[in-house]
Each structure stands twice: as C-alpha cells, then as structure tokens.
Amino acid sequence: MLKNRLSTQELKDGVLASDKAVLGRAITLVESQSVKDRPNALSLVNEILPYSGNSFRMGITGAPGVGKSTFIDGFGDFLLSQGKKVAILAIDPSSKVSGGSILGDKTRMEKLVGKKDVFIRPSPAGFELGGVAQSTLESILLCEAAGYDFIIVETVGVGQSETAVKEMTDMLMFLTIAGAGDYLQGIKRGIMEMIDLVVINKSDQIDSQVLSKLIGNFNHALHLFPAREFRPTVEILNCSALNSVGFDQIWDFVIKYETHVKENGSFAENRNLQNLNWMSRSLLNMIQNHLQKNELLKSNIEKFESLVTSKSLSPLDAAKQIFDLLNLG
C-alpha cells in the first residue's frame, strides 16, 4: 500500500520538526527523476532555504577498501559526544545496467544506526561524475533545516572526477591506508589539489617505519602544489577507526580549519561559489534532459550521430550544428 503523499507544507513542517521519517520522504522527493515531482521539489527547497546553511559540511573520499564506512561510524559517534547532531549522506555506486545501487552503508554503521541525533541516508550516485548524486546539495539543505549541524558526504571512490564533492562541502578529507604510497602516483592532480586533510586509517596495523614513509610520501606530493592562501596547511593524521583512536586529533583539525576559513571570509565565499556551481550544474542538466526528451531534436541528434560515426562529419561540426538548432547562438 502506497504512503499518502505529503503536501509541501507538511514536508516543510516535518523537516523543521526534525522528523526523520518526513526528512527521508523529503529527500526522496528531491531525488526523484520524475518530471511531475520536480515542481514540488523546487517549491520545498525554496521553502526550507532560509532555515539551511547552519552546519559544517565535510566530504570524505578515498579508494574502496580504506574503511570509509567504518571511519564514519566511529567518527560520527565521536561527534555525538561533542554535542553535534550528525547527518550522513552516503553515496553508493549505481549499476550502469539496471540503475540500482548497493545502498549498504546503513547496515555497516552499527554504532550510529538508531541513535536520536543521527540521520543516515544512502543514496544512489546515478551517473553523475564525482560520485555525488545530482540532488546531494538539496539533501544537505534539507538536513540543515532539520537541525543537523555536522553533515558528512561520503563518495563512492577516488579520482579526478571525485573533486565534485568539494563543490558542495566546506572541507575535503582523503582517507587512505598502509600501502597507499605504492599507488600515490596514480592519484590525480585534481583530487590532490582539493584535499584539506589526509587521514591514514588502520594505523595500528602499520609498522612505525612504514607509517613514517607513507607520511613522507604524502608531504612530498602535497608540497608540489602552490601554497594555500586562504586554507590551513594540509595535515596528515592517522587513526584506527575500528578502535576509535585518533578522532580527537582529527576533531582538533576540523575546529582549527573552520575557525581559519570563517575568520578570513573564505568560508562564506566558498558557500556562495557552491550555490553558483549548483545553478550552473542544474541548468546544464535541464538542457541535457531537454535534448534527450524533445522528439524533433532527438531525431536530428540521431542523424548527426550517424554522420559522425560514418566519418562524414566531424564531432565538433556536428555539435555546432546541433547547437544552432537550439537557436541559442
């Protein structure tokens, strides 16, 4: 039996009352790919916008297997002890065949599941570059309006495209483990330039010399980039997420980082830039959807695709002619 659909006002009231069930339904609405849901989603986001923004947003990225979910489970529990109300948006990989996703993070966060001041939302990444769902920023705003003052966004992996998470968070943490020095050269420049904090997980399983060498490798890699004018110097910390060791040093860095960027004005500037990027991404997404759903344009695009694959027309020329069909030039 389908649940009764809530009105925009009911969703807003429930979100502002920190009703987790209603917050979940509100996020489902903004995640919906249905055209008929979009007006209600936009209306809801506009309604809760004045109540959002009062949080610190941390992005966490790292290669599969480094223990991101275990880290978030432990660090989230630590944040609760600091009086924080924590929302976790765990972006899971979507199947490119079925569109489905694993959505298993909730079951791996045993310390946090069911706790009063914690909201965990696994969401499919869809086909977005950066491993971040297109609606993630909207979900962040809803969580903030519900009173969650520390938002964690976990991404699906690591790579140059993963820097998209930086466009919607205040600080980006890179989680790694022993042996990372072997593939350090494979980490793209884009992600290294965006990192604000490196945390080496499972440090209790690492020989002290190996740990020292790993820290040295990261320091060398990070020093290749220009000095950070408005952000604190990247630090390399270590922890054992499974044993809840090292969280206090990480928290100290977060406090120092937040204080620094708020005092020099870059925190507010970054938030403004995020909103402009959000607008641009939304516009591009709408244009792309329009191209895919307009039957006349779709027919013309298929014609140009045939010309490109038969080498009768260059991809650049084909793109230009499709653009001219839009009458935007």
The enclosing domain of 26 has a CATH number of 1.20.5.170
Q: Are residues 92 and 230 in the same domain?
A: yes
Q: Are residues 82 and 124 in the same domain?
A: yes
Q: Are residues 219 and 284 in the same domain?
A: no
Is residue 73 assigned to a domain?
yes
Domain count, the chain: 3
Q: Are residues 106 and 231 in the same domain?
A: yes
Is residue 243 assigned to a domain?
yes
Residue 199 phi, psi dihedral angles, 5° rounding: -125, 125
Is residue 270 assigned to a domain?
no
Please give the residue range of the domain that contains residue 297: 278-325
Residue 19 buriedness (CB in 10 A; 0-12 / 13-18 / 19+): middle
Tokens found for residue 171: 């600080």
Q: Residue 89's pLDDT is what? A: 92
Q: What is the mean pLDDT of each run of 10 residues along the chain (329 residues)?
A: 77 97 95 87 95 95 86 96 95 46 56 92 59 75 97 74 77 83 54 86 86 84 77 90 94 97 95 89 80 80 93 93 76
Is residue 88 assigned to a domain?
yes
**Domain end position, chosen among 213, 238, 263:** 263
Task: Please state the pTM of the whole predicted model.
Answer: 0.85
Cβ atoms of 69 and 154 within 8 Å: the answer is yes
Q: Residue 315's pLDDT is what? A: 94
| Residue 271: partners with Cβ closer than 8 Å, 6 or more residues away | 53, 170
Is residue 272 assigned to a domain?
no
Residue 100 buriedness (CB in 10 A; 0-12 / 13-18 / 19+): exposed
Q: Are residues 138 and 75 in the same domain?
A: yes
**Other Cβ atoms closer than 10 A to 117:** 18
Q: Residue 161's pLDDT is what? A: 47
**Domain end position, chosen among 218, 235, 263:** 263
The H or E element spanning position 91 is: strand 86-92
Is residue 74 assigned to a domain?
yes
